[in-house]
Amino acid sequence: MKRPAVYIMASKRNGTLYTGVTSDLNARIHQHRTGTSGGFASQYGCRVLVYAEILDDMETAIAREKQIKAGSRVRKLRLIEEANPDWRDLAEDLL
């Protein structure tokens, strides 16, 4: 899926959250799952895709990522719960 996307990875339900932006969501999920992404998400085991938005262009995706990151944890949890109340691994839909 080579389209700009904003996504949230989680370590588990209500666990550690990582918000990111990418132009290739499938490749980025693979990096998170294999630990090759390094950094925060790898260190805290954020390997479950719990939220994703596909956007039209990278500029819009980056702006949306900043908006989500600026929000509180409560707002991020609400965003996830509204779109994915069961905290299902959305990566399964992309395969």
| The pLDDT of residue 8 | 97
| The pLDDT of residue 64 | 98
Residue 82 CB partners (closer than 8 Å, separation 6+): none
In the chain, what percentage of residues exceed pLDDT 90? 79
Amino acid residing at 73 = R
- Domain residue limits, the chain: 5-94
The DSSP-derived string for 61-91 is HHHHHHHHHHS-HHHHHHHHHHH-TT---TH
Q: How many other CB atoms are found less than 10 A from the CB of residue 48?
A: 20
| The pLDDT of residue 23 | 96
| The pLDDT of residue 1 | 55
CA-based nearest residue to 82, from 54, 58, 59, 53? 53
| The pLDDT of residue 36 | 84
Domain 5-94 CATH class label: alpha beta
Question: How does pLDDT run across 15-49, given as a tens digit for each residue?
Answer: 999 999 999 999 999 999 888 877 888 888 899 99
